[in-house]
Amino acid sequence: MTTEFDLGALLAERGAERYELHARHLNPQLPRMLHTIGFDKVYERAEGAHFFDADGNDYLDMLAGFGVMGLGRHHPVVRKALHDVLDLDLADLTRFDCQPLPGLLAERLLAHSPHLDRVFFGNSGTEAVETALKFARYATGKPRVLYCDHAFHGLTTGSLSVNGEDGFRDGFAPLLPDTAVPLGDLDALARELRKGDVAALIVEPIQGKGVHEAPPGYLRAAQELLHKHKALLIADEVQTGLGRTGDFYAYQHEDGVEPDLVCVAKALSGGYVPVGATLGKEWIFKKVYSSMDRVLVHSASFGSNAQAMACGLAVLSVMENEQIVAGVRRTGELLKSRLATLIDKYELLADVRGRGLMIGIEFGKPSSLKLRGRWTMLQAARKGLFAQMVVVPLLQKHRILTQVSGDHLEVIKLIPPLVIDEADVDRFVDAFTAVMDDAHSGGGLMWDFGKTLIKQAVANR
């Protein structure tokens, strides 16, 4: 007897129920939120940096699935690698042999960070971070991990222990022993290190929340301090890695920074298969895996699976052959400089920052009386509403998907696929300019929507 399963037919039959199914069986707040802000679209297809709806309308993706779609959707080389690996009928995940693909991907990944020696493959960003935390604590024999205010490293319990926002942590205590230090504050770091119980500092070279960069020289100086106190530097490159900021890893922006452990995930498998990797120095891996008895002391059932490894190899090969990192530097500079010229034109626009294709656009208090009143009303209801007022028309009117860079922040974060081109940059800058024009006219639909947001914020209190 054959069992028939027809994925296309299933989607054709029931795809229209997507929002109801989600509301019924998954996190109900997601469809609720999407309906509320009018983001409840039905995207039928995607290619590169664009989605398409059933009418063939084209949407520009400036979010890349939270950074997962580094090469855009359905890159032909990655897609072919995935088809190929399925067609090869490999004896994958026997668990008691050594497959070639993980070794090859580790070799290729390590070639981009010559001071590191070994890789552990897991299945997500948070798992890459959990691995780094465990390895750092075991290798140093110390319990406490330092992290930066506003940090985001994932949401499983270990990663949550190094999260810099109360909103994520509240109600989940007790977590690991941990302490926050301000990003860039070397005195605070030194003060904590003197207590003698610190295993590591984990840091995003550019924070995802708010797009704040470590100040020049900070990572190098922090590394020296940490090493002086026999503690480790962990670079969380889950979002910033693989070319996002115009360097292969964001920590490579400055000479002399050589983290002991580096976490990557997201873009590594081209968005098709979950993957995570923790890269580290020889002595750390040697300590964790110190004897045959400890061979499985840290492992993951799906880690190193052939699909993820094949996609990872294809992604790195595209990055090298198509010179993606150099392209990011060029496109990122173009986007950032064009946005920066708008600061003088729009009083609500306070800052444009970031590197490569990780750009933060911050809004701030306007100077004119007319706009200041409206801005103050929004801020009194809830911080972050103005950024929401911009994100919504960008999608509704201009079919561009963006996100507010964290709760209670007046910052929009742009992390498009690394393959966007000049036409995409023009489209975004033109749309953003039109939205800013609307906002500065002080009337119209945009501020009406602001009033709706204020009512909702007040009702939610």
Ligand X SMILES: Cc1ncc(COP(=O)(O)O)c(C=O)c1O
Stretch that binds ligand X, among 5-13, 234-242, 324-332, 420-428 (CB under 6 A): 234-242
Nearer to ligand X, 152 or 218 (CB): 152
Q: Contact at 8 Å (CB) between 162 and 133? A: yes
Asked if 238 is part of the footprint of ligand X (rule: CB under 6 A), the reply reads yes
Shortest Å distance, C-beta 440 to ligand X: 32
Select the residue interacting with ligand X from 63, 82, 101, 126 (CB under 6 A).
126
Shortest Å distance, C-beta 332 to ligand X: 18
Nearer to ligand X, 124 or 453 (CB): 124
Site string for ligand X, 377-416 (x = CB under 6 A): ----------------------------------------
Shortest Å distance, C-beta 414 to ligand X: 15
Residues 353-382 interacting with ligand X (rule: CB under 6 A): none
Nearer to ligand X, 31 or 125 (CB): 125
Site string for ligand X, 127-156 (x = CB under 6 A): --x----------------------xxx--
Q: Contact at 8 Å (CB) between 82 and 272? A: yes
| Helical axes 306-321 vs 100-110, angle rounded to 10° | 30
Asked if 352 is part of the footprint of ligand X (rule: CB under 6 A), the reply reads no
Nearer to ligand X, 204 or 438 (CB): 204
Asked if 162 is part of the footprint of ligand X (rule: CB under 6 A), the reply reads no
Shortest Å distance, C-beta 181 to ligand X: 17
Say how many residues touch ligand X, by CB under 6 A.
Answer: 14
Chain center to CA of 358: 9
Stretch that binds ligand X, among 119-127, 283-291, 332-340, 375-383 (CB under 6 A): 119-127
Shortest Å distance, C-beta 309 to ligand X: 17
Q: Contact at 8 Å (CB) between 327 and 318? A: no
Select the residue interacting with ligand X from 131, 239, 307, 405 (CB under 6 A).
239
Asked if 236 is part of the footprint of ligand X (rule: CB under 6 A), the reply reads yes
Shortest Å distance, C-beta 265 to ligand X: 5
Asked if 208 is part of the footprint of ligand X (rule: CB under 6 A), the reply reads yes
Nearer to ligand X, 178 or 236 (CB): 236
Asked if 446 is part of the footprint of ligand X (rule: CB under 6 A), the reply reads no
Select the residue interacting with ligand X from 43, 66, 302, 447 (CB under 6 A).
66
Nearer to ligand X, 218 or 346 (CB): 218
Residues 269-298 interacting with ligand X (rule: CB under 6 A): none
**Measured CA distances, 349 to 131, 376, 389, 409 (Å):** 40, 15, 13, 14
Q: Contact at 8 Å (CB) between 192 and 181? A: yes
Select the residue interacting with ligand X from 70, 72, 122, 125 (CB under 6 A).
125
Select the residue interacting with ligand X from 71, 121, 124, 400 (CB under 6 A).
124
Select the residue interacting with ligand X from 265, 288, 389, 431 (CB under 6 A).
265
The contact set with ligand X (CB under 6 A) reads: 66, 124-126, 129, 152-154, 204, 208, 236, 238-239, 265
